[in-house]
Structure 1
């Protein structure tokens, strides 16, 4: 049985998930994601390394950190996730520099409790004061589990990503983009994947899905998302959306 329940409060999104035979495709988020494994074992590839989160494991994903995910075995998996806009996490932790979580999985009961308390508040539509209080408690506890850093990613890759983002609402032309960097199309694909863990097309498609998600959250209109990001039709968006979020864009809109 696979069940995915999303709820959003301001700049925080929460997910309650049960998985048995579902596998996330390789993707990334523009947000920070912090989750707790409640039952079973969650397995995923993160930065080329195989990770296993057992019961009680607190999982950390930095923005644009590529990963996939599935249950480790047939017993299935239950977990909860929180997704934070980067600006919100900086506000809550009172940090001015970007935050980088350096450990992918931590086993800490207090941290796990704070993540789940906030997730439950969002999932059960608690009022804003309760959500804010639980966010502060979590933020205070997070300070020992991250480092501040200056973005170190190759500036060329960052420019390549920015160029791809310019085309999220139309067709991706790799021949044209690769020429701007003095590379053939195939050199561009190999270089991009070696640096980011995904192909340019995967990055482009993930960006379109993420853009569609934001429209759905703001406008509650799946057809606007289809048109704005040039999906073939709603079926195409639903199919791609489910690979990343576990549910269709239609169902996601209903949750929001």
Structure 2
């Protein structure tokens, strides 16, 4: 009797260019624990059934539709059938969407799934094989089309509300310059020219997450880059501004649903 070896989980990651991260992955069974990140996660299931918990319900993504997970929404991931699931996903910073739409509440797809052909068409270029590099101008055009498709499909109003996009963007830029040290909301308020509680409210509305979460995510971005370059977990954690390795590992697992060790193991496949 021939014994079949179950397929191994794997993922491939294209170079992160201009705030757009693209991956392709396969999971034979359980994929990710409950986690959240501060980017849009937009993608397609290529094969199998991709099941996940999202906003209080179990969702099932099939080939032919589009996944649109909103920033900071908790979700997990696992195979919905015994053949596993394969998918492509891109992670897009809300700041990119804001730059295209000119500062308005982020588009929101309530169920995390869409069968709207406008979204499927708008993701075609960005969802092609990771072996095919994107021309920079082609990528920018595709992002423009995607941002406007998201806005149209979600029904986001273009009417401006009472928020200060310029001040929130100043605070966001300042955080990128201070990854290696603690940052206070008072500092952000000083650099943005906006009072701290109004800034905190505006930041959530415009970028989909709190200032603290945003700063933590940028530090984790740096950790992943350092690990790929060969840095140890301890060194990567300290360089990226975490108090120690265990602090970084807790945040990493909460954010990606994988431990740093498992993430590195899958990345090397």
Same fold flag (TM > 0.5): yes
Select which of 206, 213, 235 maps to 2:220. Answer: 213
In structure 2, relative to structure 1, the CA distance for the partners of 1:10 and 1:97 (3 Å cut) is same
Write the mapping of 1:102-181 to structure 2, written as runs, cut at 5 A: 102-120=110-128, 124-148=132-156
Between structures 1 and 2, the one with greater strand share: 1
Question: Structure 1 pair 108/239, CA: closer, same or farther in 2 (3 Å)?
Answer: closer
- CA distance in 1: counterparts of 2:83 and 2:268, whole angstroms: 29
Alignment match, 1:226: 237
The residue that corresponds to 2:208 in the other structure is none
**How many residue pairs are counted as aligned between the two chains?**
205
How many angstroms does 1:108 deviate by? 3.4
* Counterpart contact for 1:14–1:83, Cα < 8 Å: yes
Q: Which residue of 1 is the match for residue 46 of structure 2?
A: 38
In structure 2, the CA distance between the partners of 1:3 and 1:245, relative to structure 1 (3 Å rule), is farther
Identify which of 84, 94, 111 aligns with 1:76. Answer: 84
Deviation at 1:66, TM superposition (A): 0.3
Equivalent residue in structure 2 for 1:6, among 1, 9, 13:
13
**Deviation at 1:57?**
2.0
| Cα gap change, 1:241 to 1:97, in 2 (>3 Å) | closer
Consecutive unaligned residues in structure 1, runs of 5 or more: 151-168, 171-205
CA positional deviation for 1:5: 1.3
The 3-state SS of whatever aligns with 2:12 is strand
Q: CA deviation at 1:240?
A: 7.5
CA displacement at 1:82 relative to structure 2 = 1.3
TM-score computed with the length of structure 2 as normaliser: 0.62
Q: Which has the higher helix share?
A: 1
RMSD: 3.9
What's the secondary structure of 1:117's corresponding residue? coil
Judge which range, 48-57 or 234-243, deviates more: 234-243
- CA-to-aligned-CA distance 1:153-201 (integer Å, 9 cap, x gap): xxxxxxxxxxxxxxxx99xxxxxxxxxxxxxxxxxxxxxxxxxxxxxxx
Structure 2 unmatched runs, 5+: 1-7, 162-180, 183-212
Local SS of the residue matching 1:244: coil
Contact 1:209 1:240 in 2 (8 A): no
Q: CA deviation at 1:14?
A: 0.9
Separation in 2 of the partners of 1:131 and 1:20? 31
Q: Is the 8 A contact 1:32 1:61 kept in 2?
A: yes
State the shift of 1:4 in Å. Answer: 1.0
Provide the C-alpha distance between the structure 2 equivalents of 1:246 and 1:34, rounded to a whole number of angstroms.
23
